[in-house]
Amino acid sequence: MPTSLPLLPGSLVNGRPALLGVLGGGQLGRMFVHAAQSLGYETVVLDPDPASPAGMVSHRQIVANYDDPSALAELHASAHAITTEFENVPAEALASLALQRPVAPAAEAVAIAQDRVREKAHFVRSAQSSGVAPAPYAVIDSEEDLSKVPEDLLPGILKTARLGYDGKGQARVSSRQELAAAWRAAGSVTCVLEKLLPLALECSVIVARGRDGQVASLPVQRNLHRNGILAVTEVYEGSLPEDLASRAQQATRQIANDLQYVGVLCVEFFVLQDGSLVVNEMAPRPHNSGHYSVDACDCSQFELQVRALTGLPLPAPRQHSATIMLNLLGDLWFDASGNSRTLPWEQVLAIEGAHLHLYGKLEARHGRKMGHLTMTGASAADVRASALQAAALLGMEAF
């Protein structure tokens, strides 16, 4: 039978607590599971890895690929509402699950986020109301498209239309010759060429939108990326100009409303040297830059994900502490010679306001997200001092 909403905490179905399903067993799924369980829901994870971080803490795990018909049927039969922890699940799987179960985000929103061409087109439409557009770009799908690229888009960044994240599937190009070579090196697949802009900084906004159109927003996050991967997120009074933060939040709400989105959505922005705002990309799920909300806000992005999925009210999260989040990559688990090392957790955790989150991944690898460290404090000065102290202990570059 179709699930009726709201699906209340503590509600019983056939004598057991209501069960929430999640496609994907990574760290985002793990933190969703924790949030769901704290509200009294049971959980089931679908992931091909039997040792997935989310599967290890969930009530149940279905070990199978995301397009496995029998696994999807099992998930459909057991879960009363279903979400996803990353955008590269088959949109068709979400569509089939949504026939009789609440699914958030919807398959169409995920399909748009999976394809940079469709994503850019959506940003252009939303910019008509918000005034915040993407960088000038061109779609390249053929040799003929290469010859038609406007000269003023170079230098630029060539990005594959699909399956690119954390800097993957991207190449900087300065000339038509470099562009052609990079496109062919990418396999001559559909790509987007974006004009390289003079960046001052990057930021992101995370919102949760309900089926009734209610929208709640986290504070705007100031982000630092290294090698295409988020390294540091800072959220405190004065981390960004108020006008800039307001424009970013308004643009994010417009993007979500235009999608008729349900669930948690992150939109990333570039801030140019002249202070203007450019929308970069979106993620139809909780985001690395919002992890601080678990320790620094009274409602985390993962609780918002549970609430949006189950039809519960969406309160505006209140930040109670200045905060900086450090992303912990597998590189930290190795010394300069490439030998594995033990990190100084005892010293790090002796710092006031340190909150360590390790994801339960059994093997450290270069570039792999192993955990994050959230520092909280009474002021920006306090939290910056403690975060820099922790970074030095861990061997992270200062910021």
The annotation status of 148 as a binding-site residue, yes or no, is no
The annotation status of 167 as a binding-site residue, yes or no, is yes
How many Cα atoms within 13 Å fall on the side-chain side of residue 245? Answer: 16
Altogether, the residues listed in the chain come to a count of 399
The annotation status of 169 as a binding-site residue, yes or no, is yes
Beta strands, E only, 245-306: 263-272, 277-283
Please give the chain's pLDDT, 399 residues, in tens: 568 899 999 899 888 899 999 999 999 999 999 999 999 999 999 999 999 999 999 999 999 999 999 999 999 999 999 999 999 999 999 999 999 899 999 999 999 999 999 999 999 999 999 999 999 999 999 999 999 999 999 999 999 999 766 667 899 999 999 999 999 999 999 999 999 999 999 999 999 999 999 999 999 999 999 999 999 999 999 999 999 999 999 999 999 999 999 999 999 999 999 999 999 999 999 999 999 999 999 999 999 999 999 999 999 999 999 999 999 999 999 999 999 999 999 999 999 999 999 999 999 999 999 999 999 999 999 999 999 999 999 999 999
Between strands 322-329 and 229-235, the pairing is antiparallel
Distance (Å, rounded) from C-alpha 103 to C-alpha 46? 14
The annotation status of 154 as a binding-site residue, yes or no, is no
What domains are defined for the chain?
12-103 (3.40.50.20), 136-195 (3.30.1490.20), 199-394 (3.30.470.20)
Distance (Å, rounded) from C-alpha 162 to C-alpha 184? 15
The annotation status of 170 as a binding-site residue, yes or no, is yes
Q: Do residues 150 and 156 lie in contact, with contact meaning Cβ atoms separated by under 8 Å?
A: no
The annotation status of 332 as a binding-site residue, yes or no, is no
The annotation status of 168 as a binding-site residue, yes or no, is yes
Residue 259 falls in which region: left (phi positive, over 0), alpha (psi -120 to 50) or beta: alpha
DSSP annotation of 40 reads T
Q: Do residues 373 and 356 lie in contact, with contact meaning Cβ atoms separated by under 8 Å?
A: yes
Give bridge partners of residue 230 from the DSSP assignment. Answer: 225
The annotation status of 159 as a binding-site residue, yes or no, is yes
